[in-house]
Structure 1
């Protein structure tokens, strides 16, 4: 049976299946309209959207292909590319710019044209962080003139939502946008609709996201998508663990080398044997310390309380605060 490995009540929004079902289908387009209006906070008021083909080629048959998660335009003719990104890529920003060019180029009509373009919004819902700011999860990017800091071109907008930085509890939700981000981040862990999410649009969201209401085909597709997500998560955690192990080994090696050097210097006064013993101990201690610092930094990025981190790994609170 397709759903035997699923114990959650609602889908994981970060899976490809869930994202496209909830935001990329005609029957659920009111969900995307509500999300976009909440995201834009009155800068635009979208009444309706039309879904566009998500698979695009360049101007020539041999050009590189682009496949969007969700691609649509509103009643004003403005374009919206909405992407869910699970993991960071080395050239993520380049990819984001590259994708926006398709919405620009396809606006060129045949025949005479004065180059007037409709607005384009590229929106990334990111399950990772790309900006150094520790707390701000919302980032809006436009072309600006550097000397005056004034917007040079206001029809090309990139909006990035760093979901790991959104840590509001249900009692802290104030705006419709807050509620949407809370739903996106926590959907798979909820067993019931939260009392704070009482708007009509969330009634539709939780009905559409309930796994028990899927037909057999949808359950199979979701389970496959969930498996892919879990495999990806496992790969990322394995790489992270190996990275920590490599860092620890390098730290130990460096510490041992420094310790031996110190041991030799002290050995002139106290004897070479004592110096090497102290050097080895110092090296191991330094390696363990570097590991603790790396773990502390990672926990701080997840906004874990400094006091909790200090109790867990043994570093002083004041040192953790300055990492």
Structure 2
């Protein structure tokens, strides 16, 4: 029996990649990125999806598996991550991830070190602990600045974090196209129809792609499994944090990984969802 939801949750691995990570839907991702970044250097007109699995510099180095990794027509690199549950050192992880597209730009021979811009975007289904008492600010855009002048020192490395639980606008309060995007991300799973205020062409396509009634049985089964993993993962880790048991997070992740391994889930999926290394998973 199918679940009663009409639309998929974009916070599941299946849902996020269905809407934003597939070639037929890249116009959806382009529209979202243009609204999110509002770049001074011009709007994104095309994207090429790159391999989300990034190898380290040698066999012993840790790999990185991005949710979405793509490149614009001008060579800018975009890492787009959906973080489903609280994670210690998430900011550290996003900084680490950004080193991969930086190093990949190195050229052999006589190279002047010129780099294309790198954007790391985190859509968070949680609130940073240090920001939990500040409900007004949920959209963080971070660059290197000169602390004395408070001016941007380097504008080719940008980190954007959206703390989605803080976004609480109702449909009637939506004013900008960006507001509408955040409303969709936050509420899509709970909607029964496309809201009146979201009648733009891009949202018409998004709702069509998100409608569970359009999915084959195989697609639906994949989504249902992804939804279960998301809810189990989020509930387990968030409960550990809320109970003041963050030190037990690794054990929680091991239990989830072990369950996924027993079900035959690919190791790459387990790594992506839990953040554990392959050697940790192999020992389970």
Residues 1:49 and 2:50 aligned together = no
> TM-score, normalising length from structure 2?
0.81
Q: Which runs of 5+ in 2 are unaligned?
A: 246-284
State how far apart, in whole Å, the 1-side matches of 2:213 and 2:102 are.
41
Instruction: Give 1:42 shift.
Output: 4.9
The residue that corresponds to 1:278 in the other structure is none
The residue that corresponds to 1:116 in the other structure is 114
Residues 1:172 and 2:173 aligned together = yes
Residues 1:61 and 2:62 aligned together = no
State how far apart, in whole Å, the 2-side matches of 1:62 and 1:243 are.
34
SS at match of 2:195: coil
State how far apart, in whole Å, the 2-side matches of 1:49 and 1:195 are.
29
* Contact map agreement 2:77 2:116 (CA 8 A) in 1: yes
State how far apart, in whole Å, the 2-side matches of 1:185 and 1:101 are.
29
The residue that corresponds to 1:228 in the other structure is 229
Trace 1:1-323 onto structure 2 (pairs within 5 A): 4-43=1-40, 44-130=42-128, 131-132=130-131, 133-236=134-237, 238-239=239-240, 242-243=243-244
State how far apart, in whole Å, the 2-side matches of 1:123 and 1:92 are.
12
Instruction: Give 1:238 shift.
Output: 4.2
SS at match of 1:100: helix
> TM-score, normalising length from structure 1?
0.72
Larger radius of gyration: 1
SS at match of 1:125: strand
Instruction: Give 1:134 shift.
Output: 2.3
Q: Which runs of 5+ in 1 are unaligned?
A: 245-323
SS at match of 1:167: coil
SS at match of 1:71: strand
The residue that corresponds to 1:279 in the other structure is none
State how far apart, in whole Å, the 2-side matches of 1:5 and 1:74 are.
38
Instruction: Give 1:243 shift.
Output: 4.7
Where relative contact order (Cα < 8 A, 6+ residues apart) is larger, the structure is 2
User: Aligned residues, how many?
Assistant: 241
Instruction: Give 1:109 shift.
Output: 2.1
Q: Taking structure 1 as reference, are residues 159 and 237 closer, same or farther at Cα in structure 2, changes over 3 Å only?
A: closer
State how far apart, in whole Å, the 2-side matches of 1:204 and 1:97 are.
33
Instruction: Give 1:206 shift.
Output: 0.3
Instruction: Give 1:147 shift.
Output: 1.4
TM-align CA RMSD: 1.5
SS at match of 2:3: coil
SS at match of 1:179: helix
Q: Taking structure 1 as reference, are residues 202 and 142 closer, same or farther at Cα in structure 2, changes over 3 Å only?
A: same
State how far apart, in whole Å, the 2-side matches of 1:7 and 1:210 are.
12
SS at match of 1:12: coil
Q: Taking structure 1 as reference, are residues 239 and 73 closer, same or farther at Cα in structure 2, changes over 3 Å only?
A: same
